Amino acid sequence: MLRLMRKHARSWFVQALLGIIIIVFIFYFGSLRSGRQAETMAIVNDRAIGYHDFRNEYTRLLEFYREQYKENLTDEILSSLNLKQQALDRIINQAVILAKAEEYDLNVSEQEIRASLYSYPLFQRDGVFDPDLYHRMLRYSKMSPEDFELTQKKVLKIEKLERLIREGVKVSDQEIYDIYRIQNEKININFIKIPETLFTGTINPTDDELKQYLREHEEIFRMPETIQIAALAFSGKDYAGTLAVPEESIEDYYNRYKSEFMTSTGEIMPFADVRDDIHDKLSLSKGLDMAAAAARSANDIIYQEENFEEYARENKLEIKTFPPVSRRDILPIKDMEKYIFDMKEGETTPVLSDENAFYIVKVQKIEPSYIPTIEEVENEVRNKYVQAKSRDLARQKSEEIVSRLKKGEHFKDIATKEHLQLNQTGPFLPSSTIPLIGTSAELARELFVLSQKEPYPEKPFYINGNYFIVAFKEREEINVKDVDTEMDQLKNYLLQIKGEDYFRRWLEATKAAMINEGTLKIMADADKL
């Protein structure tokens, strides 16, 4: 698996498949009980793709973007990412790729499967495959080695298919020279910046305008569905305090894993210095096993008898309540979002867990989403209205300046007449990050085609709250003879890029053909999920 990840780190479909494998195998604690889990998203060669597959992929994507954007992940950004469509496309693509790999009878040997398992980082200790850790991780995730290795076999089939298709890609010397020039030729551009806040002070909306704006954009201000939850916790620490750990087990652990106790100078700490820490670690590990068993036993009873509160009272367990949560929130218990938003009042989740405890969560009350009144969100509506109107005026002014440039008016003259500052980036290598402007893949693409003859793009660019009007100034000459020293590296780079594009086009053509043949049927609409 590590080899697969390294070799295909830029391959979106393999990343997506690995993400689902990790979520399903490492964090899955039971089956979803909501009726919607049986809903079929698509059928590929008579194999159904279920709603739970979609939900797992959607959750993985959401967690990925939360990690990338952190506190900057706004509702607007989430909406623009179109995560539901992304998730649906990914699970269908993965199923199609696997179906074709099987159709082409791509075999994977037992030796290849073993090699992939031995290189899987989660099953290694000190860089070496640990069979005990492997089986313990799978038991902890309620996954048998047979099931896990079957999925590894599917991953390796996909790897083989990708490699076979990519092998048909070739690159020419001219393409290598072109990519070298793109990577090494610096450009300098002039620009004018028009902030979207430039017109903020001129906008003073009336009450009627605010009410109208709320009516026209009510979904932006919709209050999300909230869920009141309660949980029973089965803590490993609580059970650990009742356990005795044999001294021989402590010594055995020390002797087997001495590298854990290595100091910064490379010396192994004496057993006496770490004995208590090992005892606590082993005790907690056993305590977690007992907590897991207790949680599963409790879950079986609560699920059958629907006696969450009664069970807690009879067994002297504390019911912990939480503030109402929505899909926008970071939830207090790991993986809880996979379940609670598809449950009804009174239902309980399967056993959930984190590194410290196991949980059974009950949905106590659901408050449906609603459109607030203007009184509830007046300040927010006002701010949105002013921002939108100011941005619109900034856009109009920017488009007007681009039009004047196209008609022959000089950049400097326009800046002077409009009391705007004319700047230049200075020479830089074109990329998605432009000096003094910001990050924009769209503008970066335009930079490659600007020239003295065609100095202006067709439109302004909105970047980080500002509109930018740019104009070509100059390019620095490069010595193309230097490309000879980088031929092999550039060729490999181009093969990778062209291979990814070739595989993407193959995948789209394959899906289209399967739809025509009736072997691929897509039943779900991402907008309705």
In a 13 Å sphere around the CA of 270, the CA atoms on its Cβ side amount to 2
Token pair listed for 477: 């000459």
Q: Among 37-41, 433-437, 442-446, which is the least confidently predicted range?
A: 37-41
**Which residues have a Cβ under 8 Å from the Cβ of 346 and sit 6 or more positions away?**
306, 362, 363, 364
Beta bridge partners of 227: 325, 366
Report the mean per-residue pLDDT for the chain.
Answer: 86
Packing angle between helix 12-27 and helix 83-103, nearest 10 degrees? 100
* Tokens encoding 79: 């909406």
Q: In this predicted structure, what is the pLDDT of residue 480?
A: 66
Judge whether residue 181 has pLDDT over 80. no
> Start-end ranges of CATH 1.10.4030 in the chain?
2-175+488-528
What is the separation of C-alpha 158 from the centre of its chain, rounded to a whole number of angstroms? 21
Say which residue, 287 or 19, is predicted with more confidence.
Answer: 287
Q: What percent of the chain has pLDDT over 90?
A: 46
Indicate the SS3 state at residue 409.
coil
Predicted confidence at residue 334, as pLDDT, reads: 85
Vertex 280 angle, CA 277 and 281, to 5°: 85
pLDDT, tens digit, 9 for 90 and up, residues 51-110: 988 988 898 899 888 888 887 888 788 888 899 999 999 999 989 999 999 998 888 898
Q: How far is CA 243 from CA 226, 251, 252, 279, 439, in A?
A: 41, 17, 18, 10, 56
pLDDT recorded at residue 16: 38
In this predicted structure, what is the pLDDT of residue 184?
A: 81
Is it true that domain 2-175+488-528 has CATH number 1.10.4030? yes
Spatial distance between the Cα atoms of 396 and 418, rounded to a whole number of angstroms: 14
Report pLDDT digits (tens) over 331-351.
888 888 889 999 999 999 999
Q: Residue 254 has what pLDDT?
A: 87
Of the candidates 362, 353, 349, 142, the residue with the CA atom closest to the CA atom of residue 234: 353
Q: What is the pLDDT of residue 38?
A: 56
The rounded percent of the chain whose pLDDT value lies above 70 is 92
Q: pLDDT at residue 35 above 80?
A: no
